[in-house]
Amino acid sequence: MGLVGRHIAALALTASLVSPAWADTISVTPRPLVADPVAGAAPVAVARGARIAVPAGDASAAWTAHYLARLAMRSRGLRLRIGRTTPAIVFVHGGPDLGPEGYTLDAANGAVRIAARTDVGLFYGAVTLWRLMTAAGGRGPATVAAVHIVDRPRFAWRGLLLDSARHLQSVAFVERLIDRMALLKLNTLQWHLTDDQGWRLQIRRYPRLTGVGGWRGAIDPATGKPVRYGGFYSQAEVRRIVAYAARRHVTIVPEIEMPGHALAAIIAYPRLGSSPPDPGVEGDWGVFPAIIDPSEANIRFMENVLGEVSELFPGSWINIGGDEAVKDEWRASPAIRAEMHRLGLADEDALQGWLLGRIGAFLTTRGKRMIGWDDIVTGGTRLPADAAVVSWHADGAARAIALGHDAVIATAPTLYFDNRQAADPAEPPGRGTVVSIEDVYRLDPAPAETPAAGRAHILGVQAQLWSEHMPTERDVALMAFPRAEALAELGWTDPARKDWTDFAARLKADLARDRALGFADDVPGPADAPIDPAHPSRLADQQMRLCTSRVVLNLEAPLEAQRGQRYLVDAMNPCWIYPHADLTRGARLSVAVTRLPFNFQLGGDRTKIPLRAPRTPFGELDISDGCGGKQIASIPLAAAARDPGVTVLEAEAPPTSGWSDLCLEFTQRSLDPMWVVGWAQVDPR
């Protein structure tokens, strides 16, 4: 059974608990505020050639009508027409005040009427109608249950972050992502366009940002050697994407990182840096020491960049990053220390606050609101009063709200969608913590115990698609969906209307809709990988426990020979536990091992990674009865060191007094390369 099959099978038991036929016919995600059956009314038949009526001269409503017609054709092969004679579907401007995104939908007496005071409300009403038309699946004419819907969102900000800095996605992929967001009533795309690994946005005034900073040396999967990798979005492409999103009522918030996460920019223009850049490491992952020197010339440089950004993105927000700025280079610079003294700043955190205050003031002159990661509220930051944060720390929103700022809830790990969705070897690469669809669904961005004044500052919710370890567009799509369905319900649906069992039932229909529209036809499953019948005692590394959980990653092997193979490892402590091994009569131990490049920028934390002294020239795999316990076996790595692929190491374990949790650790003299375990097998005698 493939991933799709396992996923649907896992949902089937939960979904079977929803028995009323009504739940099947009102399959709308995110769940509406009110969805009541109309007593005594027959369902509405939407036949081939059925007409959609829009207000005369209303270009936006007409576009939405054509959008609905295209959805009906793609998903059902059902042709709808736009016109005013004998309409089956009517769009109306007006109705109750349900805020800027609310709408009503009434289906009864042979027609569907969608009413809203705004264009976006009509659009979301049309999306809801499409979901009603496709609730039962199939092709051809559709039936819409007789229903009265009143709907509006819980939060104004319902977003995804797409990281195009670490790995570049095509324009077509970005547009497909926007399409899927719009169908879930997600309305904000934070576009992460710059970082240490690449600068992806064309800035006409500074062409080296993309000409140099848009490229790096990546690993060739066929040879394991670096090759040139990169690219960028032209301003024409950005304008196309922004317009595409606007028609679907998705606002794009560009993110331009500063003062940290700026190695690509500093390599392009070395004068930006506080010290000479370290070229050749742009393909590493982690937190780099490179940081922008906060000189007046560099502030003007950043203002010039943001000036062009402001013209490209008409939305209210610009994200300036501000996170994980390592300030060692500032501390080491006599000129920067002297400037801090002149400005009366107590420390480097205060200097970052002063710098971001300057940037925020500039954005205000451009009619933009500044937003950044919650790191920007440290060090007495002098932010504009209307600045906001994206809160990735557990306490980040509370710190920002205490200072009077708004916050978007984006907390790790639950809203970091580069975390794997299940303990399954087939999961895409990414971070190693398991964050299931249900984990996302049960998160409450603003729990009831939050004071009312604090809840008023919560703009909404956002999930992150960081692409450090997700090199392909398919990886990104599989990690985004279907968890984005749960995210949509977090952002839209009133907490009193949320219900996991009902959601799971609707999710089956949503997966069918995705396939009908030609979106990804496979999704990661929520269940653990099944036992291999040929090797019942074999556990993949994703099924074993890690000894620690510091920097847990699910890494894809770089070599062509291992394409698709992923390895779960704590980069700060490569150590695995095979639980509950039967050694009562002794056993044959088999462990598959290989090497991965250690390409992580960890700063001072690098010294905290244990290096266990080897006893032979190439080191050993040590297997113990529990970490720190009695050693059971020690297998030299000489054969594996000569093999660039996977090597199976074997040893005999002597009888013990009972069952054991086996601890698997490597000895070696250096961190690079990093030895990892692919699977382990225990065959009792």
Domain end marker among 516, 549, 582? 516
- pLDDT band at 523; cut points 50, 70, 90: very low
Q: Are strands 157-163 and 458-465 parallel, antiparallel or unpaired?
A: parallel
Residues in Cβ contact with 6 at an 8 Å cutoff, skipping those fewer than 6 apart: 525, 527
CA angle 358, 273, 352 (to 5 degrees): 35
Q: Which of 106, 151, 195, 375 is catalytic?
A: 195
Is 195 an active-site residue?
yes
Distance separating alpha carbons of residues 385 and 374, to the nearest angstrom: 15
CATH number, domain with residue 332: 3.20.20.80
Q: Reduced to 3 states, what is the DSSP secondary structure of residue 620?
A: strand
325 class by beta-carbon count within 10 Å (0-12 exposed, 13-18 middle, 19+ buried): buried
Worst-scoring range by mean pLDDT, 14-28, 595-609, 631-645?
Answer: 14-28
Domain assignment present for residue 433? The answer is yes
Burial of 349 (0-12, 13-18, 19+ CB in 10 A): middle
Long-range contacts of 118-125 (CB under 8 A, 24+ apart): 119/60, 119/61, 119/64, 119/249, 120/187, 120/249, 122/60, 122/61, 122/64, 122/91, 122/93, 123/64, 123/67, 123/182, 123/248, 123/249, 124/151, 124/185, 124/249, 125/91, 125/151
Strand order in the sheet with 674-684: 538-540, 674-684, 587-596, 647-653
Residues 119 and 241 reside in one and the same domain: no
Per-residue model confidence as pLDDT tens digits over 49-94:
999 999 989 999 999 999 999 999 999 999 999 987 778 999 999 9
Is 438 inside any structural domain?
yes
pTM over 0.95: no
Both 391 and 503 in one domain: the answer is yes
**pLDDT level of residue 377 (50, 70, 90 thresholds):** very high
Asked if 213 and 145 sit in the same domain, the reply is no
Query: Which pair of tokens denotes residue 82?
Result: 């736009």
State the Cα–Cα distance between residues 471 and 467, nearest whole angstrom: 6
> Is 141 in the same domain as 171?
no
Which of 228-232, 286-290, 535-539 is least confident? 535-539
The tokens 């990281």 sit on which residue?
A: 163
Whether residue 197 is found in the same domain as residue 131: no
Packed helices 119-133 and 59-76: angle between N→C axes, nearest 10 degrees = 20
Are both 121 and 176 inside the same structural domain?
no
* Active-site option among 7, 261, 457, 469: 261
Q: Among the options 324, 522, 528, 605, which is catalytic?
A: 324
Identify the burial level of 334 via C-beta atoms within 10 angstroms of its C-beta, where 0-12 means exposed, 13-18 middle and 19 or more buried.
exposed
Q: Residues 165, 145: one domain?
A: no
Structure tokens at 339: 């400037």
H/E element, 125? helix 119-133
Angle between the N-to-C axes of helices 235-247 and 296-312, in degrees from 0 to 180, rounded to the nearest 10: 50
CA-based torsion, 260, 406, 385, 395: positive or negative: negative
Closest among 618, 625, 616, 637 to 664, alpha carbons compared: 625
The verdict on residue 318 lying in a domain is yes
d(CA 225, CA 471): 16
Q: Are residues 553 and 619 in the same domain?
A: yes
Instruction: Tell me: do 123 and 255 sit in the same domain.
Output: no
Domain tally for the chain?
3
Question: Tokens representing 547?
Answer: 């000894």
Helices marked H in 313-406? 328-331, 334-343, 348-365, 396-402
Q: How far apart are CA 298 and CA 308, in angstroms?
A: 16
User: Residue 12 in 3-state DSSP?
Assistant: helix
675 by DSSP, 3-state: which?
Answer: strand
pLDDT band at 646 (very low <50, low <70, confident <90, very high): very high
- CA dihedral in degrees (564, 565, 568, 574; nearest 10)? -140
Per-residue model confidence (pLDDT) at position 534? 64
Residue 85's contacts (CB-CB under 8 Å, 6 or more residues apart) are 51
In a domain, 462, yes or no: yes
Residue 32's pLDDT is 98
Residue 87: what residue type? P
For residue 504, being part of any structural domain is answered with yes
Q: Is residue 18 part of a domain?
A: no
Last residue of a domain, one of 468, 484, 516: 516
Q: pLDDT band for position 562 (50/70/90)? A: confident
d(CA 483, CA 413): 13
Model pLDDT for residues 331-347, shown as the tens digit of each residue: 999 999 999 999 999 99
Q: How far apart are the first and last CA of the chain?
A: 31
Q: Which amino acid is at 680?
A: A
Last residue of a domain, one of 93, 119, 151: 151
State the CATH number of the domain containing residue 585.
2.60.120.260
Mean pLDDT over the full length of the chain: 91
Q: Cβ(74)–Cβ(139) under 8 Å?
A: no
Q: What letter would DSSP give residue 324?
A: S
What tens digit of pLDDT does each residue of 202-259 get?
999 999 999 999 999 866 666 666 678 999 999 999 999 999 999 999 999 999 999 9
pLDDT tens for residues 350-366? 999 999 999 999 999 99
Query: Is 278 found in the same domain as 143?
Result: no
Q: How confident is the model at residue 14 (pLDDT cuts 50, 70, 90)?
A: very low
- Measure the CA angle with vertex 57, ends 55 and 60; round to 5°: 75
| 168 domain-assigned | yes
The residue-averaged pLDDT of 151-165 equals 98
Query: How far does CA 79 lie from the centroid of its chain?
Result: 35
Sign of CA dihedral 341, 342, 348, 353: positive
Q: Is 464 left (phi over 0), alpha (psi -120 to 50) or beta?
A: beta
Coil, strand or helix at 621: strand
Three-state DSSP state, 545: strand
- The span from the CA of 493 to the CA of 496, in Å, is 8
- Whether 522 is covered by a domain: the verdict is no
Residue 115, domain extent: 34-151
120 and 175 part of one domain: no
Do residue 46 and residue 119 come from a single domain? yes
Asked whether the beta carbons of 489 and 30 are under 8 A apart, the reply is yes
Q: Is 561 left (phi over 0), alpha (psi -120 to 50) or beta?
A: alpha
CATH number of the domain enclosing 120: 3.30.379.10
Higher pLDDT, 22 or 157: 157
Q: Let me know: does 491 contact 153? Beta carbons within 8 Å.
A: yes
CA distance 174 to 477: 11
* Cα→Cα distances 501→10, 13, 240, 370, Å: 12, 10, 40, 39
Residues 446-485: tens digit of each pLDDT: 988 888 989 999 999 999 999 999 999 999 999 999 999 9
